[in-house]
Amino acid sequence: MVRRRHSFFLPLAALALVGCSGGTAPLKIEPEPSVHAVFTGSVHLRGEIRVDGQFADAITGRDETCGQYADGSFPATTLWVTPTPNNAELVAGHSVNFTAGVAGPGVSFHGPGAYSQPAAQVDVLLIDSTSFLPGGRPTAVITVTSAGSGSMAFSGMTDTNSGEAESGTETWTCRSGSTPATSSNVTSPLMVVPAGAPTLHGTVIITGAYSSVGTFTTRAEVDTAGLAGAPPAGMSCPEYARGTPDASHQSRNFVAPEVDTGGANAVYFNTLLATGYAGPGTYASQSFPALVGTAAITIPPASAPQIDSFTSKYGGSTVLTIRPDGSGVVKIIAWGSGGSDSRISGSVSWTCSAR
């Protein structure tokens, strides 16, 4: 068992439920101002026990700013943890607590980005008096932005008594007295990229429950053992288009541009074909189930932002097209939200250049 950074609890007021799609404005209760990271968000649990509610957590990064939390600047355990509801307050009438995150700095966590197993993990989930541990085929996908906000989707947690399964999603935002500055133009979530790494220029278009259009410039990423990271120095655009070996080394994978627009109306987006990639061509999620994506839409006002998180796993589909020169497009088709009946569609298209 990996312990959390802090084992004591402080009472904190709750923020509104994330991702409401109805016409009624959610109740907003502001947490007390803090120079350290303060997290607010929502959890949506399905399976043996259903929970849909909001939470506030000032414990996870209480000695850090949001930027320091996102960078993993102050490792205290072997696990970089996601925010969790506190025992001091209930979530929709339930006591909820979990230990989840990414293997810590020096092991797998390298700052803002998208993580899947084995780096991403949920060690334990507690709902009221019921304990859930990873079952035979657990899954976890965790994303974190440079502002400290993020999302998590997991499945395969098993009741230690009944054997019933539990899955769910979490989204959160981070506020601190020293929040990193944001840019109106998308920049790479990677903290360090090698000289000459392919540069991707493109456009994001979101329609449906939210409408957003923007351009971006970011660096190409590769996936190694389930972890998105910087490519080798000097990689060419055609080499990027060929993908990289997957964990089994029997196939290849491909990481589409990871973008974070920043600002009050931020859009975070990432898509990964974890296995089955065979070079330039078109891949549809109906035929390639390892093709998955997530999008996190920040809802203003900036003084109390909320995040609506969407994923291709909630009834939607994804089409990835890669050309031999490293350019491409991801088509988003009716991605759903774990916290509402909202859906988004759209596209992310890009060109590739390398020195």
pLDDT at 14 over 60: no
Confidence of residue 326 (pLDDT cuts 50, 70, 90): very high
What pLDDT does residue 288 have?
93
SS3 241: helix
Residue 67: what are its φ and ψ, rounded to 5°?
-65, -40
Q: What torsion, rounded to 10 degrees, do the Cα atoms 151, 56, 99, 21 define? A: -40
Give residue 276's region: left, alpha or beta (phi > 0; psi -120 to 50).
Answer: left
pLDDT digits (tens, 9 = 90+) for 265-278: 677 788 889 889 99
Residue 311: which H helix or E strand, with range?
A: strand 306-311
What pLDDT does residue 209 have?
83
What pLDDT does residue 177 have?
67
In angstroms, the CA 271 to CA 258 distance is 7
- Which of these, 254, 256, 351, 338, lies nearest to 297 by C-alpha position? 338
Give CA 92 to chain center in angstroms.
Answer: 23
Torsion 271-277-278-283 (CA) sign = negative
What average pLDDT does range 167-179 have in this prediction? 79
Cβ partners under 8 Å of residue 41, min gap 6: 15, 18, 54, 55, 57, 83, 170, 171, 172, 173, 307
Q: What is the Cβ-side half-sphere exposure of residue 246, based on CA atoms within 13 angstroms? A: 19
pLDDT at 293 over 80: yes
pLDDT at 16 over 70: no
β-pair type (281-284, 306-311): unpaired
What pLDDT does residue 34 have?
54
pLDDT at 86 over 80: no
pLDDT at 8 over 50: no
What pLDDT does residue 19 have?
33
What average pLDDT does range 152-175 have in this prediction? 90
pLDDT at 178 over 90: no
Q: How many residues does the chain have?
A: 355
pLDDT digits (tens, 9 = 90+) for 112-139: 888 888 888 898 898 988 889 988 788 8
- 166 or 105: whose pLDDT is higher? 166
Q: What is the percent of the chain where pLDDT is above 70?
A: 74
What average pLDDT does range 172-197 have in this prediction? 52
pLDDT digits (tens, 9 = 90+) for 28-75: 333 344 567 888 888 999 989 999 888 888 677 766 888 888 888 765
What pLDDT does residue 207 have?
85
pLDDT at 5 over 90: no
In angstroms, the CA 158 to CA 167 distance is 9
What pLDDT does residue 181 have?
34
What average pLDDT does range 126-153 have in this prediction? 88
In angstroms, the CA 39 to CA 13 distance is 11
What pLDDT does residue 75 have?
55
In angstroms, the CA 99 to CA 105 distance is 17
Residue 102: which H helix or E strand, with range?
A: strand 96-103
What pLDDT does residue 302 have?
45
